[in-house]
Structure 1
Amino acid sequence: HGSLFVPLTLLLCVVLFQWEVIQRTLNGSQFYTFSVCNVGEREQDNWLRTTFIQRRPSASRVFVELQFIVRDCNSFDGASLTCKETFNLFTSESDADVGTTFRKGQFKKVATIAPDEITSKNELRINTETKVVENLSRKGFYLAFQDIGACIALLSVRVYYKTCPATVKSLASFPETVAGGENQALREVSGVCVENAISEELPRIYCTVDGEWVVPVGQCQCKPGYEEVEDECQECKAGSFKAEASGDKCTPCPANTQELDSGAVVCPCMDGFYRAPNDPPTGPCSGLPSAPRDLVATTSAGKLLLTWSPPEDTGGRTDITYSIECQRCEGMVCQSCGEKIRYEPAGVGLTDTKVSVSELDAHLNYTFTVEAHSGVTVLTSQAVPPANRPPSTSDDNLDVTTYTVLILEKNSVQIKDLVPGTAYLFRVQALSSDGSPGGSSMEEQFETSGTEGNQHGQRSTCFFLKNETSLIHGFCIFLFRKRNSHTRQGPEDTYFSSSEQLKPLKTYVDPHTYEDPNTAVLKFATEIHPSHITKQKVIGAGEFGEVYRGILKVPGRKEVAVAIKTLKPGYTEKQRQDFLSEASIMGQFSHQNIIRLEGVVTKFKHAMIVTEYMENGALDRYLRDHDGEFASFQLVGMLRGIAAGMKYLSDMSYVHRDLAARNILVNNTLECKVSDFGLSRVLEDDPEGTYTTSGGKIPIRWTAPEAIAYRKFTSASDVWSFGIVMWEVMAFGERPYWDMSNHEVMKAINEAFRLPAPMDCPSAVYQLMLQCWLQDRSKRPRFGDIVSLLDKLLRSPDSLKTIADFDPRISIRLPSTSGSDGSPFRSVSEWLESIKMSQYSENFACAGVVTMDQVLQMKNEDIKNIGVRLPGHLKRIAYSILGLKDQTSTLSVFAV
């Protein structure tokens, strides 16, 4: 808060008429109260005005907090006809202090102030009331208080404005910003990257009217050699580096590199180690490979066969190749063999450790040298005669390693007859249809028990995945090491014992499968003592009872605002179980876009479900209340949050069944969270992944056609519902399919009708809606795909500039100049009510626009001039007039 001036007790005020100033002493300090009490006299008009209040230039909206006392009129004998229990607050703007000059005509009424608590003869009750003064534009203003016959005492006045405090978000620094007013609900603020951070686009954020930062756009990243530490960019510590600007942390210098001082962007190679030209500068450095070993020359069928072993030390590289150098010697003279001799398969670039040499001349001495190459260097090894080979070594105590390769065309294999007391390694690699290798899995090690014939050592299973469109061949490398020194049975044995145990556990558990539903509640929800819950205000009504806003204060935890669902009196045991089953479902979820369960009350008479409190309530109502106030980028950001929550649910094999904007809640940072799990059910383990129900209400306008027809629900049917939610959000809470009946909706969908693009909806967003509404559910995108696409749109705001085609005749459902029954609109107010713009009826009347013929003559500038300022409202009225001018009725549009 930014304070404009201190309480009224320290102000000099102009006292007019019957107001009295009374000086009092409290705790050693003097303060003043202003009072008036002429309840027995008629036509009272007593004014009290403040001194000049200077306004901070950017503070166009201020709050006036009053503390006052009002005497009960019934406590005065014979004054009931003239006594009042309210007074009025006025304001007047000025560019300079006018001193004691006072003209009532210069003041504009702000509000009538009525007390919540009235003071009787025996009990003093102090009221506190806060009012908003909007659209201030001059250098300062005055406040005035008018009494019209009440007995009141004004104790204090505090005037303040709200600010979004200076902050650092995503390494961008944003200055303290005065919150906007009614005409600027979100004030855009540009930020500056903190020291040693950079950004490709200017970071921005929005300041709400309540002084909260929301919807950050763009981010800064630490420069090379720096990493983010508590909203700062600090140098990489000695021994670590970061090569480019990113949100990543500094990483330790890789192997065989020098550890430089702080702030390194790369770690150079140590002496004797190198990077190849194609190696990344951030990768490890390689040493020199040693010489090939055990080079042997043998003859066969007139050819010389050279074989050797790989270098003992490859220098840490895998790109080892070999080349052959040949010299022929006559007497004491040696020269290169040249191109006369032939190598098979080649003389250079060999990856195998053998080569065949032919076309050799008789009676000449040949010397062959095998060179080992890597990306960084070359070493050589001279050939040695076979007689010089060292004898081979055999030791039964050494581990014996055997490789077995199984070629598979399925995604599992059972391997039997395993050796007891043996460790096995498995690796799966995919092969394409032409046999070329693909990616492989990590090696997994298992060990059989030491008991001969034990079933734990007799079978195991190796897996790999199938391609979405065609079967990928694969092989399983099956390696075992026999260990004679000892045997053991590890945790893998239990895992290996049954193919059933290899299946992943179901993440979500349906509470309806519990014989005793109370068991499910105790398993998944935290029990809260009622004494820790304070109800404050009724904010709604659910299927089972009232919903309250309240406070949860658990000992040892911070006090938090919560929503409290209650169970109405006279409930049956089944209603109680159904009520608490929602908590059993919610308690299994933990995601920032799923409403969070705080706990339940089950062990006392009045059952309650306690969840986090979402300040802005249901998404559909919130969007209707803020029609036209958000840009497409912000709406897409909301949709991204909803999609992320639904991806989380779908990954848990969970179907919501009632996804709609009314079941999405919004907090004070515009973060959207999925709620209301009353209709939700888990996916069964059948191949279709469907849930079938024989009863229950289905929300027709949000439900996929296959779910309506066959009551089969899948994540794909949730995707259809998400498409409807997208339409609701982009249409600012418009009702899907308008005033069509459920029967008309089902008929239209089956005839391939789809909702048209909302006004100003980006084309890319509308195309995604249409993908969600594909008749074939297998072709609809998955929630993971939807999240990825929305992320892509948010990273490229320009992609939202192309607007989808908009037809006002369909989107606003206005049949030319007729009402819903086909008859002409009888008045301007009736027309405005039909497009939910009835708040502007007085504006039209004051401007003299009182007939529909006059409405049809209006242009955009005329609409602005009568006081329609919000862009969304302006467009809705303008497009409605456009639809009114078209004599084609909505019904015939649908018929076409």
Structure 2
Amino acid sequence: MQLCYIKYVPLDPEARRWLVELVLLDTTQDPTLDWTRYPYGPQANTPGWVEESFTNFEKGINWRSYVVCDVAYNNVNNWLWTPFVERGNANRIYIEIKFTIRDCSLFPGNALSCKETFSLLYYEFDAATREPPPWEPESYKLIGRIAAGEGRFNTNSEVIINTEIKSIPVTKKGVYFAFRDQGREVTFIEPATGTCVENADKGDTPTYLCKGDGKWYLPTGGCKCKAGYEADVEKQTCNVCLPGKYKHLVGDEHCQPCPDHSKAPDYGFSECRCNTGYYRASKDPKNMPCTQPPSAPQNLTVNFVDQSTVILSWSPPSFQGGRADTLYTVDCDSCGPGVSNIPNTDLFNDTKVTITGLNPVTTYRFKVFAENGITERAGESEYVDITVTTEASVPSSVTNVRVTDIKSTEVSLAWDSPLINEATDTESDMVEIYEARCFARHDDSNATNTLTKEQQTTFTGLRQRTEYGFQVRAKTTHAYVGDDDNMQMRIIAVFSVGGVMILVIIIVIFVIYFRRWRSQGWVATLRLAEAD
């Protein structure tokens, strides 16, 4: 505690009415004070009051003052007396005190006694003597216990000067004023472990210091109201949350209204319950509204399909359930273990998937599900489905179609089987049968077809001097093979035939032209002619 400045202003009521002020003592004008102190001298057990200068040049302050700070001692009882102040004609004396108070929290653990107040007392006397003022404390009347009304100071703040004005009635010749610093009056400053009020939990153990003014200071630890209870700081209680409100965490927060689609039907709820049909995920914050699963994806479309691959795409659900974490999963009820998806994960946020490893000419049903963070709690998810049939596996066309024998009315053909891709070969890709076709070059309306499992065949009953075309194609279990990019090669040959003697004139003119016939194979066109 630091006493900085003392000023006495005694005012006679009658004089005050005439705006007359008589200053009896002004310490700001004294170069030294030299007041009476107790204890003092070599026999003193505490330093007691010490006179020193108090300066603040920015504010124009250069005062003599008294300071006391005996926080490291027990049984403190420090007195400071003013000189005898004669009242003159005054019936009442006003005393103005300017002082600073140091915060006791600046001495944690080191202070045996600390008080943020001091006592102001007075003693009326009919005669001034050269002896010290009377020592009996019982003879002094208490004007008041002075505390820092404007504030205390510490190392982190500017020194705060407090001002206190008191007055006393006077009837005798003069008066002594006394300042008493008693440190702690009841017990020493010491730590004490606190206990939490009802419905409160402790974090770190609350440890308090009892200060000299009888108040408690909390340097560490403390108590917080439990979930479902809010703090009433003024009453120092933890009050239960009312119906319709909740408080999720231990702390000083207030109870909050339930978020949308939830309710707290009773007192003390730490989390509002979701309404029927609404849910909250385990990772959702408790102040988040309850939500629903999304509706099914929209506009499921096949973007691509071949013998082993299907690409699907879709649009997001029209209803997201009040959330922003919609993901998708694809289910195939007849896919084997070799089927895989891209993206290769159970749940993904893309609206497109590529499915590979499918069998050719196989019908699949694909379901695309929409899910979000609470779908698992809801127990079901909406989906859209589509049925897709993969295309046939396509080996290469038959190759090396050739004429092996020619007679006057018949032609024999042979060919090589299609080349099978061993990497994708399945039993269903194997050739089941061949189809060969013979037609007059300028009249293909009367074509002759023949089926054979062999890689050769003979057409009979042909007309002489007629050009014929031949086509050969292979058929697998799924379909005929060949496409427009593998058009037929037509071989035109002119032959002369006489009697039973066949003269084969090897005038083979290779002419390539293109003709379309259902699915394609190799074509040989020959001209049968009589011999001269």
- Same-fold call, TM > 0.5? no
Q: Pick the TM interval, shorter chain.
A: 0.3 to 0.5
Which structure has the highest strand share of the two?
2
- TM-score normalised by the chain length of structure 2: 0.38
Which protein is richer in helix relative to its size? 1
Structure having greater relative contact order (Cα 8 Å, sep ≥ 6): 2
Q: Which has the larger radius of gyration?
A: 2
